[in-house]
Structure 1
Amino acid sequence: MDGNAVTAEWAERFNSPVIEEFRANGGKVGGDFAGMPILLLHSTGARSGATRTNPMVYLEHAGGYLVFASKAGADTHPAWYHNLKANPDAEIEVGTERLRVRAAELTGAERAERFAEAVAAFPVMAEHQRGTGRVIPVVALSPVEG
């Protein structure tokens, strides 16, 4: 699918079965995500204040997790990215564990290094970056106490 065609309705139809499969299988899913590390991000809507859940690939880094706001190469950032910018305190599910995290966007050389790692792990990320004029954000999710 062209990344620019991703709509909220499409995302909901796509995300719901992935979330169900993730929870039924202790964090493992098949299909397009088979063999990839997946987490569920629970963020607070920037405008609505409602909790939103999004599955996404991640890389472990420095005791936390990195996620990538690719939106399949769309020209706009995904809603979850805007949610984290407005409300950086969130929760994630990794496997069967649920953690509180704080989000922080990486910039400069650190962002470039971590995105290169993502491309090495998930070659489709390079396609996503080529498909858009924006720089795909890399967001660090760091566990917090409590």
Structure 2
Amino acid sequence: MERRDDEEVLDSPTGWVAKHVRDYVASDGARGHLYHGIPTLLLTTRGRRSGKLRRTALIYGEDGDRHLLAASNGGSAGHPAWYLNLTADPDVHVQVGPERFAARARTATAEEKAALWPIMVKLFPTYARYQAMTARDIPLVILERSE
């Protein structure tokens, strides 16, 4: 994702998520990386319609040096905006604790998801309930660091 240094980043419009993001950024990840004991990262995508940078906090899992995200949207019928954005432009920025890096996002294949989904459910068991609540197959996203 090409980004100018002076380009504004818009945080999630959801109040508690925006506060989480502000705390994460202000503390350089010291506050917010663990949210109720669960690891979270900050994901910045480019809005598919607006072209603006959008940042949100998400629970993540790990598979080696890759980061995993569940596009659960609380079990609702539609995909979350951040997922739609990264499918349009897979080049993203990530912050994990104090570390910041560019990454490329992709949706796991069915075979990859079968192997990786249990990592996410073990981390946050509610993901299993979310999947049961919706007919939509919740995408599992793999973030791989850009070279």
Per the normalisation by structure 2, the TM-score is 0.85
Runs of 4+ in 1 over 2 A off after TM superposition: 23-31
**1:29 maps to 2:66:** no
Between the aligned partners of 2:136 and 2:89, the Cα distance in structure 1 is 22
More helix by share: 1
1:62-141 alignment, distance < 5 Å = 62-141=64-143
Alpha-carbon distance in 1 for matches of 2:145, 2:33: 27
Structure 1 letter corresponding to 2:136: R
What is the CA-CA distance between 1:17 and the residue it aligns to?
0.3
User: Are 1:18 and 2:16 counterparts?
Assistant: no
Higher strand share: 2
Inter-partner Cα distance in structure 2 for 1:49 and 1:24: 25
Shift of 1:24: 3.5
Letter in 2 for 1:90: V
The offset of 1:11, in angstroms, is 4.6
Among 56, 59, 62, the residue aligned to 2:61: 59
Alpha-carbon offset, residue 15 of structure 1: 1.8
Equivalent position amino acid for 2:43 in 1: L
User: Cα RMSD between the aligned structures?
Assistant: 1.8
Gaps of 5+ in 2: 1-11
Give, in angstroms, the shift of residue 30 of structure 1.
8.8
Letter in 1 for 2:97: G
Distance in 1 (alpha carbons) for counterparts of 2:99 and 2:70: 21
* Percent identity (aligned): 36
